[in-house]
Amino acid sequence: MKHKYDTPLAQAIFEAYKLGQDDEIIEPIVLIDENKNFNGKIKPKDGLIFANIRGEREVELSQALTENDFSRFSTQQLDLEMSTMIEYHPKLAVNVAFPPTGKITNNLTEFLSDNNKRVIKIVESEKAIHLTYFFNGKQHIQYEMEDRKIIPSFEAANLADFPEMKALEVANATISTMKDKKHDLIVTNISPCDVMGHIEDKSIIERAIKTVDYQLARIVESAVSEGYFTLVTADHGLAESWLYPDGSIDTGHSLSPVPFLLVTQQNVDVELRTNGSLVDVGPTILDIFDLQQPKEMQGISIISKNRSYNFNNQKILLLILDGWGYNPNPYGNLFIEFGTPNMDSLQKKYPFTTLKASGLPLGMPEGTVGNSEIGHLHMGAGRRIVSDRVRIFESIKDGSFFSNSAFIKTIEYVKKHDTDLHILGIISFYSSHGSIEYLEALMNLAKKENLPRVFLHGMLGRRGEKPEAGAMYVNQLEHKANLLGNTKVVSVIGRHWSLDREENWDRIQKTYEMLVSGIGRKIKDL
């Protein structure tokens, strides 16, 4: 790798690359002064702005920083005035800059429960939050007629050691549930294509793709046997568009549509319309159940209305192949390269179309890729939800970001106590957890408010970024901080350690101790 960085933390990240660490697993690095002091520690009465969005992976670290009765590991009582970009959890004692715009009422699970339809979600724990919180309209709620079967994922520092993940167990649980016939709707998520698609190892992704293709065949065969109609789709694409035009690897999500396959019983003649999106999945399920969709749902059934068939309250399986995009172009398409004979066979045999899974149809800025949060949210909501990302970018553009009451409350607290402001967030051009633009906007806000001491703590994770993205963006932020004069980028850590959602508290402790105690590889300021 060529050395091209002239700031201390960017240089340290580059050195970590040479030691075999990629952005996601980089061990904590802290910046010290000439006296070997880490001046960027989070101290009592400081202010903190957590700039990430999405939210489910941000809860554990937020708890450690704010809860006085926190017991998972030893913490200090910090009495921070903390603001978060969006609501991570309603019980966190923080100011929320962009709170929820309102409850997503009559989402699919809620509506079916109210109409006496029993639903079960089947998923391994790595993706459980998507079938529970996001699918249910970003609400921490389990409805009266909703059951859940969550299979623990492998506990491993590196999930690449288990490319098949728990696909077999999830498939077995789905098949067993269909045999019981207790549920009207089964929603199953099979995870390997997404989780492994982010890894720069084709052999790992090959095992994931072949595993999912095999389990797809087993599940569909059982569904036909047990009388379930099966809707096969995905939340977003990934490995079907695994190379940039220049040939470098793109480990991020894609702009591709996703497949939509309707596996029916014999002699059922059904046509599917084109130009649909994931918003239409919920209304399609209600159509098959012969339930009139609630007025809140704006989607349209993917099944053509020109039909004579009566579904007669059919039992349904919604099978979500996480991260399985559709792309007829073989360039960089690992699904075509490795082969998916079972999916190919099903597409020829049953009604098939594709659904939009990114950009404007899913409430995202035009030209932005899909992700698991947005995909599951829209399948469950049955309507277009304007994303937090759009709201934030619009507020930066119109200037209201710089007078946001949550941010100002934290800043006023810092001024009152003559303490320090800390900005914490993902350092990425585009991540489902945030953007470097949020961090730069907050740095500008702190300068506008004449705060003398601002410390920025970054999380790294190259998903959808080119090689050396972490070092490149940290270098950019360090230069901006130097120009502003009041800000210093003082620590970085891989997102593996800081954005956990499965109670791997040892990871969160590592991040906490970096932020509060300055524990990490020490790098001298230049």
pLDDT tens-digit readout, 95-110: 999 998 888 999 999 9
Q: Are 60 and 508 in contact (CB under 8 A)?
A: yes
Homologous superfamily of domain range 108-385? Alkaline Phosphatase, subunit A (3.40.720.10)
Q: What is the pLDDT of residue 1?
A: 43
For 297, residues 6+ apart whose C-beta sits below 8 A from its C-beta are: 106, 111, 282, 283, 286, 381, 382, 383
Considering only residues 85 and 463, tell me which one the structure prediction assigns the higher pLDDT.
85
Question: What are 434's strand-pairing partners?
Answer: 431
Q: How confident is the model at residue 465 (pLDDT cuts 50, 70, 90)?
A: low
Q: What is the pLDDT of residue 415?
A: 98
Report the percentage of the chain scoring pLDDT > 70.
Answer: 96
Nearest to 279 by CA among 194, 359, 184: 359
Q: pLDDT of 396-449, one tens digit each?
A: 999 999 999 999 999 999 999 999 999 999 998 877 788 999 999 999 999 999
The burial of 499, by beta-carbon neighbours within 10 Å (0-12 exposed, 13-18 middle, 19 or more buried), is given as buried
Question: What are 96's strand-pairing partners?
Answer: 84
3-state secondary structure of 190: strand
Residue found under tokens 């994303």: 387
Q: Are 279 and 257 in contact (CB under 8 A)?
A: no
Q: What is the pLDDT of residue 4?
A: 82
Handedness of CA 195, 197, 200, 203 (dihedral sign): positive
Q: How far apart are CA 361 and CA 105, in angstroms?
A: 20
Q: What is the pLDDT of residue 310?
A: 63
Q: How far apart are CA 39 and CA 19, in angstroms?
A: 27
Q: What is the pLDDT of residue 309?
A: 60
Other beta carbons less than 10 A from residue 3's beta carbon: 10
Residue found under tokens 């429960």: 113
Does residue 301 register a pLDDT over 60?
yes
Encoded tokens for 347: 């597409």
Q: What is the pLDDT of residue 302?
A: 96
Does residue 32 register a pLDDT over 50?
yes
HSE of 484 in the Cβ direction (CA atoms, 13 Å)?
A: 27
Q: How far apart are CA 123 and CA 145, in angstroms?
A: 18
Q: How far apart are CA 397 and CA 442, in angstroms?
A: 13
Q: How confident is the model at residue 308 (pLDDT cuts 50, 70, 90)?
A: low
For 22, residues 6+ apart whose C-beta sits below 8 A from its C-beta are: 200, 462, 494
Does residue 59 register a pLDDT over 50?
yes
Q: pLDDT of 470-503, one tens digit each?
A: 899 999 999 999 999 999 999 999 999 999 988 9
Span of 141-155, 253-267, 282-296 with lowest mean pLDDT:
253-267
Indicate the pairing of strand 185-190 with strand 315-321.
parallel
Q: How confident is the model at residue 312 (pLDDT cuts 50, 70, 90)?
A: low
Nearest to 396 by CA among 438, 450, 443: 438
For 266, residues 6+ apart whose C-beta sits below 8 A from its C-beta are: none
Span of 141-155, 199-213, 226-240, 305-319 with lowest mean pLDDT:
305-319
3-state secondary structure of 490: strand
DSSP letters spanning 405-424: HHHHHHHHHHHHHT--EEEE
Q: Are 271 and 351 in contact (CB under 8 A)?
A: yes
Q: What is the pLDDT of residue 120?
A: 98
Q: How far apart are CA 287 and CA 271, in angstroms?
A: 13
Q: How far apart are CA 53 and CA 410, in angstroms?
A: 18
Alpha carbon 401 to its chain centroid, in Å, reads 24
Please compute the mean of the pLDDT values over residues 251-273 and round it to a whole number.
Answer: 88
Helices (H) and strands (E) in the chain, counts: 17, 16
Nearest to 27 by CA among 388, 522, 488, 526: 522
Q: Are 436 and 473 in contact (CB under 8 A)?
A: yes
Q: How far apart are CA 192 and CA 370, in angstroms?
A: 17
Encoded tokens for 112: 């079916």
Does residue 464 register a pLDDT over 70?
no
Please compute the mean of the pLDDT values over residues 154-172 and round it to a whole number.
Answer: 90
Starting at the edge strand found earlier in the chain, the sheet holding 352-356 runs: 146-151, 119-124, 185-190, 315-321, 228-233, 258-263, 352-356, 276-277
Considering only residues 80 and 54, tell me which one the structure prediction assigns the higher pLDDT.
80
Encoded tokens for 407: 């941010």
Encoded tokens for 136: 């249910």
Domain ranges of the chain: 8-99+389-524, 108-385
Q: How far apart are CA 186 and CA 120, in angstroms?
A: 5
Average pLDDT, the chain: 93
DSSP category for residue 152 = P
Q: How far apart are CA 122 and CA 170, in angstroms?
A: 7
Q: Which of 3-17, 34-48, 255-269 has the highest mean pLDDT?
A: 34-48
CATH of 8-99+389-524 among 3.40.1450, 3.30.1490, 1.10.3470, 3.40.50: 3.40.1450
Q: How far apart are CA 153 and CA 500, in angstroms?
A: 13
Please compute the mean of the pLDDT values over residues 457-480 and round it to a whole number.
Answer: 87
